[in-house]
Structure 1
Amino acid sequence: MTGATKTRRRRPILIALATLGALVLGAVALYRFVPPPQTWLMTTRLVQGEGRDYRWRSLDDISPRLVEAVIASEDATFCAHHGFDMKAIEKALQNNARTEKRGRGRIRGGSTISQQTAKNVFLWPGRDWIRKGLEAGYTVLIETTWGKRRIMEVYLNVAEWGPGVYGAEAAAQHWYGKSAADLTPREAARLAAILPSPRRYQAASPGPYVRRRASRIQAAMGTVRNDGLNACVSR
């Protein structure tokens, strides 16, 4: 086989890879300025018959208390890391190894808000290694091109906060009958408290677990504010 023949055979593969790369970069660049119209999870839930309440709001129209709450509960080093919190990942791996050895306990994740945003916007639900690898790549891209404020804005707008409920505005209306701009510290803490399992827990009439978790989050919100852990998204 000649070199020219090999080149001709590789050309369609190279073109396909270049096209895929251009689509990925194009989507990342577009969503830097335009709200994502739909996510994999929204589509999946919609097909399952859950409906879709998705109301985009600028970060300026979302209570700063909710920003503080999700940083306190989900990613305390959000403004300091570059997409990955290696200490959190290491702790999660150690905890999960102990949980697997004991055969009981709760599996923990070490994903940052940046990683969760990349997953929610661009990828399908799941824990397979292919998806995790793509998630890492998208995380690097959005950290490089979007910046922290945009990542937080997108995260708060696409996160699932109940069956068929997506984003801070829909969540605030669903659980409290008010705008996301008007959330109180306690309401924000309770919304953040149900984020790991929004289909299992309720924010408006929470049980003991959510109340305890929300109380800890609300206490930590003061630290986020006073120590400037939200500085990268503040104006």
Structure 2
Amino acid sequence: MRRVWRFLGRWIGWLLVAALALQLFFLGRIAAMAVFDPASTTFQRSEAWRLATGGDPWRWSQTWVPYESISPHLKRAVIAAEDASFFTHRGVDWQALESARERNARRQARAQARGTTARLVGGSTITQQLAKNLLLSGERHMARKGQELVLALMLETLLSKERILEIYLNHVEWGEGIFGAEAAAQHYFRKPASRLNAHEAARLAVMLPAPKRYQRNPYSSYLNQRTHTIVARMGAVQLP
């Protein structure tokens, strides 16, 4: 029995060492992002592989632009649509997570009563979304969610809010093979990201939860209505 306990103790010890090494690896990657622009994210690499092996023509568009070359309208629109408390939270908005959980429970109950599938909402902050896309796989389980929270705290500790938003806007998906604000502005409006007006910026921000779906119908009645809502909210977003 003692041998068994010693064996288990060694394995637990090695697992703890491996977990610590992984966190140090992530910490080093994030620290480097304070100086170097990340060339790609884990999500982008998985998408590139899917597109390359899917048999369809290769479509990929991404151009990194610095923070000051992205329209302030787009920054305000994305914050208004995705994370209204971005400049005040420290990576995780616990109130938003709880609100999302309650809304999803109500939606699931209504959908179950109708025999349909509920469309769930998320409560993740921009920082959490960046953490997930930058460094994690697309699998959904509690361990990955916990790692996402840890990475969000690392990002907020090591990077400024402006840097987090800059990386997010340069890597977030805006359609099939369309990544970053510059590629999205060129694809949908034939202009650079620096010249987006408030209405164009709001429309792009509204697409973010499901960019591939909205790409197929970028002028749907829902997108039009939601765009007007985000334009109205953008005035309350103050950029530092």
Q: TM-score, normalised to structure 1's length?
A: 0.87
Between 214-223 and 123-132, the greater mean CA deviation after superposition: 123-132
Q: How does 1:38-49 map to 2 (within 5 A)?
A: 38-49=40-51
1:198 aligns to 2:211 (yes or no): yes
Does residue 148 (structure 1) correspond to residue 161 (structure 2)? The answer is: yes
Q: Distance in 1 between matches of 2:102 and 2:10?
A: 46
The share of aligned pairs that are identical, in percent, is 41
Deviations 1:183-228 (A, max 9, x none): 111110100010111001139951111011111001111122xxx3
Cα distance, 1:60 vs structure 2: 0.5
| Structure 1 SS opposite 2:235 | helix
The one-letter code matched in structure 2 to 1:32 is A
- Separation in structure 2 between the aligned mates of residue 149 and residue 157 of structure 1, nearest angstrom: 12
1:223–1:47 CA distance, 2 compared to 1 (3 A): same
Distance in 1, matches of 2:198 and 2:108, equals 36
Is residue 2:59 matched to residue 1:85?
Answer: no
Structure 1 alignment gaps of length 5 or more:
none
1-structure distance, mates of 2:144, 2:213: 24
The within-5 A match list for 1:1-235 is: 9=10, 16-49=18-51, 51-103=59-111, 104=116, 105-202=118-215, 205-224=218-237, 228=238, 230=239, 234=240
Change (3 A) 1:13 1:48: closer
Note if contact 1:175-1:204 (Cα within 8 Å) is conserved in structure 2. no
- Shift of residue 132 of structure 1? 0.7
**Aligned CA distance change for structure 1 residues 126 and 211 (closer, same or farther; 3 Å):** farther
Distance in 2, Cα, partners of 1:126 & 1:190: 29
Deviation digits for residues 115-151 of structure 1, max 9, x if unmatched?
Answer: 1111111112243212111100000000111021111
CA contact (8 A) 1:65 1:184 kept: yes
| Structure 2: gaps of 5 or more residues | 52-57
Q: Is the contact between residue 176 and residue 204 of structure 1 (CA under 8 Å) also seen in structure 2?
A: no
Query: Does the CA contact (< 8 Å) of 1:175 and 1:203 recur in 2?
Result: no
Task: Give secondary structure in 1 for the equivalent of 2:174.
Answer: strand
Change (3 A) 1:86 1:12: closer
For residues 134-193 of structure 1, what are the alpha-carbon distances to aligned partners after superposition, in whole Å with 9 as ceiling and x for unaligned?
100000000111021111111101100010011101111111111100111111010001
* Residues 196 and 14 (structure 1), Cα distance of their counterparts in 2 relative to 1, 3 Å cut: closer
Q: After alignment, is 58-67 or 198-207 more displaced?
A: 198-207
User: What letter matches 2:235 in structure 1?
Assistant: G
